[in-house]
Structure 1
Amino acid sequence: MSKLVFITGATSGFGKACAEVFAANNWNIILNGRRLDRLQEIKTQLEEQYGVNIFLLPFDVQQKDEVFVAINSLPEEWQGIDVLVNNAGLALGRDHFDVADMEDWEIMIDTNLKGLLYVSRAVLPYMIKRNGGHVINLGSTAGKEAYENGNVYCASKAAVDSISKGMRIDLLQHKIKVTAIHPGAAETEFSMVRFKGDEDKAAAVYAGYTPLSAKDVADVIFYAATLPAHVCINDLVLTCTAQANSFYTYKGS
């Protein structure tokens, strides 16, 4: 019997790569994202290529009412969620605290932090009913060490780290695993979003070294999701070989 994974922010980057990896391994998938046209394209591609079943659940994780209405309305056959991948998230701007755009702060907090909370709370009753499941939260090396001009983005990912620790403790009684995955530099749409479409600034982030790819991160997430029932990776930081942490990256030949 195929297992079921629910992936938020699945229209690009880590989320889309996760959908591809899970589908290639015969998992059925609930795909979430704001861009319905892209979700439909991914659904068609994966169903045709891998013969899996995919259910689309388009909503904005920032909108609490949308989240709960959508997840609470899941058909019964789609309620047996084995794994939730809380991937939806973003960085906006890279400015000093005193001049940063406060609207960027709001969006990051509402997506990276509150969105993760809303989706988790909405999905958990299905897992608790079955006395098992696995929540995988996407953090960042930015949540481990703050860096210049990272301020609120770093804070939002540090919150994901702390929330994951608290969830892990509180959900032990329900036999629900909680894993936090903290990637370093990865070449996706992330930097294009952060720099608001400035291609030169986005490209400069990855110049001089080979960063992680979305598939690299998705492969690690899939590995964590498929360990034996009694084994849980609690906290995992992954970087490319050129990167040590949020501060140190060797950009050489």
Structure 2
Amino acid sequence: MVSIKDQIVLITGASSGIGAACAKIFAEAGAKLILVARRQERLEELAQMLKGTAVHLLPLDVRDRVSVESAFSSLPADWSNVDILINNAGLSRGLNKLHEGRIQDWEEMLDTNIKGLLYCTRFLVPGMVNRGRGHVVNLGSIAGHQTYPGGNVYCASKAAVKAISEGLKQDLLGTPVRVTSVDPGLVETEFSNVRFHGDTDRAKKVYQGLTPLTPEDIADVIFFCVTRPAHVNISEILLVPTDQATATLVNRI
């Protein structure tokens, strides 16, 4: 395992779930953390939990290109050389048939899952190339591999993440900058609660009768990927609970 002590790790969607779990595991390894999310109070709570870790908070919405560019270009000198970018910010809205879908939901998913990831990547990767080091980790999904009923636009957004990851890796060939796509199946986070617009009872049913992955499971895999020797690139990992075989086939007790 390669040490990442004192490396600068920027995590989007850091205020909860997989992002917060990543912050904790990277903090334990001695990394310096730039935590990005819309909810400033949640970021501040997380920073309090990570006392003893060097943390820089960036409360912003990755969908806002101007804000992303301004925030990244205004980073203090000690924080400007990002070594690891974890594009974790993302969400799903609704589970409707395409012809019955809400356009507002589509726009939120596409703006966050695709455009937000692109903005962060575009503004940070040139510095990695110039410095001759860096690693981009994109959070994809099993939904980027297999479409399921009602998942139309969300699945399309994660298929785009898969294509963007593959394209970025090809574009960076010949540089030391690595690209990894981590694609989980069922993970119990706020994901389903957000998808169903706060319907907690409906969200809980997604995970009933099975043992889903946890945010810590995903963070552990991401940490493994970025701590491999420089000549090793984990291009893509698809991980699912033991109780899940495909996007739609699960075992429930």
TM-score by length of 1: 0.97
C-alpha separation between the residues in 1 aligned to 2:128 and 2:193?
Answer: 35
Give the share of equivalent positions with the same residue, in percent: 49
> What residue is the counterpart of 2:236 in the other structure?
235
> What residue is the counterpart of 1:168 in the other structure?
169
> What residue is the counterpart of 2:76 in the other structure?
75
C-alpha separation between the residues in 2 aligned to 1:35 and 1:198?
Answer: 20
C-alpha separation between the residues in 2 aligned to 1:204 and 1:125?
Answer: 43
Shift of 1:10: 0.2
Q: Secondary structure at the match of 2:174?
A: helix
Equivalenced residue count is 249
Shift of 1:247: 2.0
Task: List per-residue Cα deviations over 1:174-223 (Å, max 9, x = no partner).
Answer: 21100000000000000000001111110110011100000000100111
C-alpha separation between the residues in 2 aligned to 1:227 and 1:173?
Answer: 18
Q: Which aligned pairs between 1:28-107 and structure 2 lie closer than 5 A?
A: 28-46=32-50, 48=51, 51-107=52-108
Q: Secondary structure at the match of 2:37?
A: coil
Q: Secondary structure at the match of 2:180?
A: strand
Structure 1 segments of 4+ aligned residues over 2 angstroms from their partners: none
Contact 2:62 2:68 in 1 (8 A): yes
Shift of 1:44: 1.9
Q: Which aligned pairs between 1:96-135 and structure 2 lie closer than 5 A?
A: 96-135=97-136
Q: Which aligned pairs between 1:15-26 and structure 2 lie closer than 5 A?
A: 15-26=19-30
Which 5+ residue runs of structure 2 have no aligned equivalent? Answer: none
Contact 2:12 2:19 in 1 (8 A): yes
Task: List per-residue Cα deviations over 1:127-177 (Å, max 9, x = no partner).
Answer: 122111000000000010000000000000000000000000001232110
> What residue is the counterpart of 1:210 in the other structure?
211
More displaced, 147-156 or 171-180? 171-180
Pair 1:12-2:13 in alignment: no
C-alpha separation between the residues in 1 aligned to 2:63 and 2:54?
Answer: 27
Q: Secondary structure at the match of 1:57?
A: strand
Which 5+ residue runs of structure 1 have no aligned equivalent? Answer: none
> What residue is the counterpart of 1:146 in the other structure?
147
C-alpha separation between the residues in 1 aligned to 2:133 and 2:75?
Answer: 18
Query: 2:122 is matched by which residue type in structure 1?
Result: R
Shift of 1:75: 1.2
> What residue is the counterpart of 1:181 in the other structure?
182
Contact 2:110 2:157 in 1 (8 A): yes
C-alpha separation between the residues in 1 aligned to 2:160 and 2:42?
Answer: 29
More displaced, 240-249 or 89-98? 240-249
C-alpha separation between the residues in 1 aligned to 2:58 and 2:130?
Answer: 21
Q: Secondary structure at the match of 1:174?
A: coil
Task: List per-residue Cα deviations over 1:77-117 (Å, max 9, x = no partner).
Answer: 11221110000000000011110101100000000000000
Q: Give the superposed CA RMSD.
A: 0.8
C-alpha separation between the residues in 2 aligned to 1:142 and 1:208?
Answer: 21
Query: 2:10 is matched by which residue type in structure 1?
Result: F
Contact 2:176 2:230 in 1 (8 A): no
C-alpha separation between the residues in 2 aligned to 1:57 and 1:121?
Answer: 17
Shift of 1:59: 1.0
TM-score by length of 2: 0.97
C-alpha separation between the residues in 2 aligned to 1:39 and 1:219?
Answer: 21
